[in-house]
Amino acid sequence: MSFDWEHLLTDIPFSPAPDKLLRQVRMEPEAGFDAAVEAIAQEAAALARPKALYRLAVPEPLDETGVRIDGVALRSRVLRVNLDKANRVFVYVATCGTELDEWAQGKTDPLEAYWADAVKQLALQAAIQALNQDIATRYRPGPTSAMAPGSLADWPLQQQRPLFQILGDVTRRIGVTLSASYLMIPNKSVSGMRFPREESFESCMLCPRLDCPNRRAPYDPELYERQYGAGAHV
């Protein structure tokens, strides 16, 4: 059963351009792999089905370190504070899709397997873009930020379980399953919560890892105490 506050995106256009794929694998066109990369891109375009599932919900404070969403408790002080002034939240999972994942697993040549992995990443980006566009067009939330379980010690990976619970049967609807260690399968999948927020928030602002290649914002060593510490009012 589908409610109008749940949205399933399964018809996401995806056709990886060979030049974009070459850039993704950091390979110069002169390297002489154009034809092979183009063949991979065509194979992928024929079977790829990136998908996303999201749900609009109203967060309720539970206590100082938790919120309740659709009757499900989530434990994170940072999430609790970030959602304090948010009157709605978009809970989501987006994925490259099982079709592409299974196709990539069949690639035994190491170079082809590497390219196939890059195609999966591009398909995931297409799913995330479609998800964010759908939220923006349908709900016009204004400026938003997002958080994902596992990005901070404050909101550990185990919290994938309640997030999936909010979304219902994620496996049946978009093929994403959780492993015993709470990792998503296909591995090119993301989950999280997007919420209205004037001031931009990135988990990276609270993360001290210096060598992370995916950092999206500088680390602010005083931010936690300033906005999320015991003295912060919520």
Residue 174 beta carbon to ligand SF4: minimum distance, rounded to whole angstroms: 23
214 binds ligand SF4 (CB under 6 A): yes
End-to-end alpha carbon distance in the chain: 36
Give the Å distances, CA to CA, from 71 to 66, 75, 154, 198. 12, 13, 21, 27
What burial letters (b/e) apply to 51-72, b meaning 16+ CB within 10 Å? bbbbbbbebeeeeebebbbbeb
Write a three-state SS string for 20-83: HHHHHCCCCHHHCCHHHHHHHHHHHHHHCCCEEEEEEECEEEEECCEEEECCEEEECHHHHHHC
- Stretch of 39-47, 95-103, 174-182, 201-209 contacting ligand SF4, by CB under 6 A: 201-209
Residue 207 beta carbon to ligand SF4: minimum distance, rounded to whole angstroms: 3
CA-to-CA distance for 101 and 109, rounded, in angstroms? 16
Rg over CA atoms, the chain: 19
**Cis before 196? omega within 30:** no
Q: What is the helix (H) or strand (E) element at residue 215, kind and residue range?
A: none
Nearer to ligand SF4, 98 or 132 (CB): 132
174 binds ligand SF4 (CB under 6 A): no
Nearer to ligand SF4, 134 or 202 (CB): 202
Give the one residue of 56, 62, 73, 207 binding ligand SF4; rule: CB under 6 A: 207
Residue 26 beta carbon to ligand SF4: minimum distance, rounded to whole angstroms: 19
Give the one residue of 2, 209, 218, 221 binding ligand SF4; rule: CB under 6 A: 209
Nearer to ligand SF4, 28 or 211 (CB): 211
Residue 147 beta carbon to ligand SF4: minimum distance, rounded to whole angstroms: 10
- Stretch of 72-80, 106-114, 125-133, 204-212 contacting ligand SF4, by CB under 6 A: 204-212
157 binds ligand SF4 (CB under 6 A): no
Interface residues with ligand SF4 (CB under 6 A) are 151, 203-204, 207, 209, 212, 214-215
